[in-house]
Amino acid sequence: MKLSVIICTYNPKSAALQRVLQSLSAQTLPLSEWELMIVDNGSDNDVLALCDLSWHPDHRLVKEEKAGLVHARICGALLAKHDIQVSVDDDTPLFPDCLENIQLIYRQNPGLGIIGGRTVPEFAVPAPAWIKSFYSLLAIRDLGDDPVIEILKDDQTIKSYPQSAAVAVMATRKKCMLEYVEHFKNDSVSHSLGRKGNDLSSGEDNDINLFIYKNGYGLGYFPQLQFIHLIPESRLQPAYLARLQYASSKTWIKVLSKYGINPWPKIPRVTVRLRKIKAWINYRAWSSPENYIRWRGACGTFEALAE
């Protein structure tokens, strides 16, 4: 059960990408047990010049010109050689035993489709105390020291988004990803999700998690899978987080609605402006960065519910 490690990247920051590659070169899993693939999603900079991959005997740099993280993920899924695909963000270094633990977990749990683990934040500058309220927005997740496994029984349907769904680093069975690829081809909602260039919209990984979960494969959180999320100063700015919260809230509603688990009813378009004004007051959006960011999230939700 070998692994394909796939880094999808767009205009990567050199220092962050180097940290990720250094963490991979230090993995305890022998190089013969995994391949390394970098998918360049139409970067303006020379990704090859940023990467020294000579230490790995089975490495590739491929290009996916169609803009969007989901297209890069699909490209990697189609080209991967091995049964387990490990998607690693270009700013998320792995702990040294991460790949070895992924291989062991899949050997011990054949019914799992996607697994993830614990994110350890590394801030470039001291973070304000209120940033903890937005850890999930920054792909920071820690569910504790016990594994969490969720799988639907034959007579069950999805009731809510599974808490064990993977973030930042996502290890997936290739057969699950290939099933998603076939689904993606003809699904307009899936095509509308995700980041394209500098657009902060998201949802593609939520879509992948829910599709695989709905199709009977287990999702798992395993605390021994640990990785570091490198967070630059720019991502701690209230203006950036407000844009991110707005975009994420819109795509979140899209994904939940697609799988029939959106708990909020549709709203008339003509009410959106009034709802935003009322929310501005209710959230006291002027009073703090935290409240302003939450208000922008509510605005994104209203926009999505009206569409």
Same domain, 40 and 165: yes
Angle in degrees, 0-180, between the axes of helices 204-214 and 238-258, rounded to the nearest 10: 30
Same domain, 138 and 259: no
Same domain, 199 and 280: no
What is the arithmetic mean of pLDDT over 176-192? 92
Q: Which residue has the higher pLDDT, 67 or 116?
A: 116
Q: Which of 170, 205, 231 is the last residue of a domain?
A: 231
Does residue 236 fall inside a structural domain? Answer: no
Tokens of 58: 């089975």
Which residues on neighbouring strands pair with residue 59, listed in sequence order?
36
Count of structural domains within the chain? 2
Does residue 180 fall inside a structural domain? Answer: yes
pLDDT tier at 195, thresholds 50, 70, 90: low
pLDDT tier at 176, thresholds 50, 70, 90: very high
* pLDDT for the residue numbered 216: 92
Q: Which of 202, 231, 260 is the last residue of a domain?
A: 231
Same domain, 109 and 199: yes
* Domain housing 300: 241-306
Q: Which of 166, 197, 231 is the last residue of a domain?
A: 231
Same domain, 200 and 295: no
Q: Has residue 115 got a pLDDT over 70?
A: yes
| pLDDT, mean over the chain | 93
Residue-wise pLDDT tens digits, 228-268: 999 999 999 999 999 999 999 999 999 999 999 999 999 99
Tokens of 194: 């995700």
* pLDDT for the residue numbered 67: 87
Q: Has residue 136 got a pLDDT over 70?
A: yes
Same domain, 172 and 126: yes
Q: Cβ-count burial of 76 within 10 angstroms (0-12 exposed, 13-18 middle, 19+ buried)?
A: buried
Tokens of 97: 């035993």
CB neighbour list of residue 225: distance below 8 Å, 6 or more residues apart: 95, 98, 101, 102, 105, 115, 116, 117, 118, 169, 171
